[in-house]
Amino acid sequence: MRNYLFYTKGDLRSTIEAHKQNIKKDIEGQESNYILNVNEDDYIDYLYNKYIINQLILHDEQISIVDQKERNIDVSHEWDRVIFDRSQPYYVKGNSITIGIPYEGDRDLFYLRPSTFSTVFPIGVITNSDLLLVYEGANLTSKGIKDNLNSDIRTIKDYISWTNTDIKPFNDNLKSYLQELFTNRKNKLLKDLNLVSSLGIPLRKNTEYVQTYVIPTNKKTVKIAKPLVNKKTFVPEPSIDMSTYEDILGTLNNMSMVMERCPEAFSKMDEESLRQHFLVQLNGIYEGKATGETFNANGKTDILLRENGKNVFIGECKFWKGDKVFIDTINQILSYMCWRDTKGAILIFNRNKNLSNILNKIPKLVQAHPNFKKVVNIQRETQFRYIFTQPSDNNREILLSIMVFDIPAKNEI
């Protein structure tokens, strides 16, 4: 059925405001444990994909005839015809031609009035893939159809431009709006948890569970599924902030410069001895702080930062012994790092001389790992930084730096 376009379902800006309120209700309606356990970036990406308003794009270069058929045309309003009774329809044989124009974007936008509009509203039919324009008449001509078609397309393109102008501010600010809503909800929940914790009164066992499912959407061909979380009560866990993490890496890097300046002192050291030198430097800086952050050697765990009995930073030290050992080291450190917001580092000592070859290999090996998630860009020639997922929980991200140190071999001294 043909309808007036950009008119029949109301005002676009009011619809956008209602859309924002629906987003807020969605986030506030999630179970508390879901908000506290879900990976923030993944959840924001899911919501962005779900709620973005896809602008309209008309592909008039792909215009085509969809249908042509004979039909009865009411000509009772045509005063150049001799008709004795114009109080009722008077039909003659004519033609109906339907022209299809493919489009992209959210279909409902064709029915909403933008803030800028004219006194003329185009008429058409909207399918899932095409805008259909129908031309009917008893005496259709090629020129008449073309003139009407060109005029209609110009009008529709004007409305599309006005519509896209209205939705652009919403789309541009959607990520930050989602971030703000999510952060406010999560901070409120954490504040509530801390309040309960400070009372010192035990909680009854929580038997509620989080329902996790993918909400169907027809908006895009490529869909982002709603992130799943473990069905358990969230407990706040210790972590180190980025400034402390950068300080730790800076200390490790400074130690490598000492090795380069004094090669004779380190050329005969094995892996464990090199590890102890890094450990001594870190202990000298962090041991005894009021936060209780202390580094300890824990067997083959190499470098370990613990707080309240939990690991918050782990460093693994390895000589480069080929691709397999490197992958095994990643698996090893991931198995250790089982706490939220854990940050760590792999220290690679190279005595094979071909450092450039190792630096070229590392990104390829890392990005082929099943728990690799994304690259974090840093401007350091012999350092890399990546986000991994924890093997038993995809919502737990691990920030892992890989630092490569060139250590002189014995025969070089």
pLDDT at 14: 93
pLDDT digits (tens, 9 = 90+) for 260-301: 667 666 767 776 777 777 766 666 665 544 333 445 443 356
CB 122 within 8 A of CB 157: no
SS3 96: strand
Using an 8 Å Cβ cutoff, are 390 and 396 in contact? yes
Number of other residues whose CB lies within 10 A of the CB of residue 357: 11
Give the helix/strand (H/E) hosting 60.
none
Residues 226, 39 contacting (CB under 8 angstroms): no
Q: How far apart are CA 99 and CA 149, in angstroms?
A: 9
Cα distances from 28 to residues 35, 171, 257, in angstroms, run 9, 21, 51
Residue 384 and residue 374: Cα distance in Å, rounded?
A: 12
Please state the length of the chain.
Answer: 413
Distance CA 31, CA 389 (A): 23
Scored b (16 or more CB within 10 A) or e, 288-310 reads eeeeebebeeeeeebbbbbbeee
Q: Is 285 helix (H, G, I), strand (E, B) or coil?
A: helix
pTM of the model: 0.58
**Spans of the chain below 50 pLDDT:** 203, 205-222, 288-294, 296-299, 413
Question: DSSP character for 11?
Answer: B
Question: Token pair of 35, please?
Answer: 């908000």
Instruction: Provide the pLDDT for residue 13.
Output: 94
Predicted local confidence at residue 223, as pLDDT: 59
Whole-angstrom distance, CA of residue 362 vs CA of residue 348: 11
Q: What is the pLDDT of residue 287?
A: 54
> Which pLDDT value is given to residue 306?
65
Nearest to 106 by CA among 186, 39, 15: 15
For position 91, what pLDDT does the model report?
A: 74
With a CB cutoff of 8 Å and minimum separation 6, the contacts of 60 are: 101, 153, 157
Amino acid letter, residue 71: R
d(CA 413, CA 410): 6
List strand residue ranges (DSSP E) for 176-323, in order.
Answer: 294-296, 303-307, 310-319
Alpha-carbon gap, residue 91 to 71, rounded angstroms: 9
Amino acid 313: pLDDT:
76
